[in-house]
Amino acid sequence: MTATPRTALITGASAGIGATFARHLAARGYQLLLVARRGDRLQELAAQLTERHDVRCEVFAADLTDPAAPAAILNHADQQDLDIDVLINNAGLSGKTAFADSEWDALAGEIQLMVTAQIELVHRVVPGMKKRQWGRIVNLSSLAAFAPPAASLLYTGIKSFTLNTSQALDMELKPHGIHVTALCPGFTRTEFHDVMGTRDQADHLPRILWQQPESVVAEGWSAVMKGKPVCVPGAVNKISAAAMKPLPIHLGYFLGKTLNPFKDS
């Protein structure tokens, strides 16, 4: 750590993996800017972390399905004199109905939240990271990103986009001291399935498939600090990803770097 504590911006920080990242980083002395829709939950978490770890913890209630949200978040950071050194792009959801049966507003919100807002936040924080020659970015993908294309929901395609763009960003930014990691968890014990209304189905899955958010976050943070562009946490998930994706991650990453047309720019 530096003399001035580094600052982490975490989206979807009110629960689950986002809140766990907040606890993990606060325990390591990072200042926090916590973002989610539920401001009351953020305030409660911030108070706990400040009392327990004596770190500065700011909150900003925002709905990232709103196209204006990313700019508002970074404007707030500027007003608070916070330089964002760590970005945890955790906010996400999954549609509950088939594509053809969904209203366009719902689909557009899903894309805005997990594609456009995520990439815009990266684009907005990278200049400062490059100037300081240090940055860490974790984009929440999923084990589903390795699965073959499936009918209906956009979730698998969106998470594949996150996986691939995170690797491309890491190739470009690593020479500037910035590490980008796609964190690809499988089934994790969070509120996700309650919110999506799939808790009954999820509870019938074998216990061996499940991870606790603390282990997911610990592996993900270790990976980005070590400069690993992809992190699939848990032995069962690693086996599943290897079985589903024909080209090994590291070989694909090597080929991508070798064939990069912008590598000399």
Residues of the domain holding 130: 7-258
Neighbours of 170 (CB within 10 A): 24
Does residue 264 lie within any of the structural domains? no
Is 192 inside a domain boundary?
A: yes
For the chain, the average pLDDT equals: 87
| Predicted confidence (pLDDT) at residue 246 exceeds the cutoff of 70 | no
Q: Is residue 2 part of a domain?
A: no
Q: Report yes or no on 144 lying in a domain.
A: yes
Q: Point out the catalytic residue in the list 155, 228, 245, 253.
A: 155
pLDDT for 265: 44
Q: How many domains are contained in the chain?
A: 1
Please indicate whether residue 155 is annotated as part of the active site: yes
Residue 261 confidence class, pLDDT cut points 50, 70, 90: low
Prediction pTM value? 0.87
Is 265 domain-assigned?
no
Does 91 map to a domain?
A: yes
79 is a domain residue = yes
Choose the catalytic residue: 30, 159, 228, 253. Answer: 159
CATH number, position 228: 3.40.50.720
pLDDT digits (tens, 9 = 90+) for 226-244: 999 999 998 888 888 887 7
C-alpha to C-alpha distance for 147 and 150, rounded to whole angstroms? 8
253 is known as an active-site residue: no
Strands (E), the chain: 7-11, 31-36, 57-61, 84-89, 135-140, 178-183, 230-231
Lowest mean pLDDT segment, chosen from 8-22, 62-76, 123-137, 230-244: 230-244
Residue 1 included in any domain: no
